[in-house]
Amino acid sequence: MNPIDLATLRQTCRKLFLRDHVVDVMIGAHDFEKTAPQRVIFNVELFVPYASSTPQADELTEVVDYDFVREVIRRRVKSGHITLQETLCDDLAAELLAHPQVVAVQLSSCKPDVYPDCAGVGVEVFRAKPQP
């Protein structure tokens, strides 16, 4: 199995994205983060080969639905307190990558309200299915 080549992804895949999706999440390692949910901003990119995402009949069933991405995030954050953004991003990337049409995922989470002196703190991951 060969590692995925980003140039090949750009040439052979459609990139679907969900930008600045804001969700209240019970997340954090510090005591002050364990008492109430805080805003987390998600940015997700899914790479789907044109061969499996080019609609022939202009039907939603022919493509990866954005609702799928939102539902994966909703389900994971509702499952209980998450200590680390790394854990959250890894879990989400794995579930998104499990979709049969998705060959790669780039995902970030950002907590914008943790520190008053910066726009946010976050984590970004990139995961890809092994190529034959």
Does residue 118 carry a pLDDT above 60? yes
Mean pLDDT, rounded, of the chain = 92
Q: What is the pTM of this model?
A: 0.92
**Residue 24 near residue 42 (C-beta atoms within 8 A):** no
| Strands laid side by side in the 104-111 sheet | 13-25, 38-49, 104-111, 121-128
Tokens representing 109 are 């989470």
pLDDT of residue 2: 52
Residue 3 pLDDT > 70: no
Domains assigned to the chain: 6-128 (3.30.1130.10)
Q: How far apart are CA 121 and CA 116, in angstroms?
A: 11
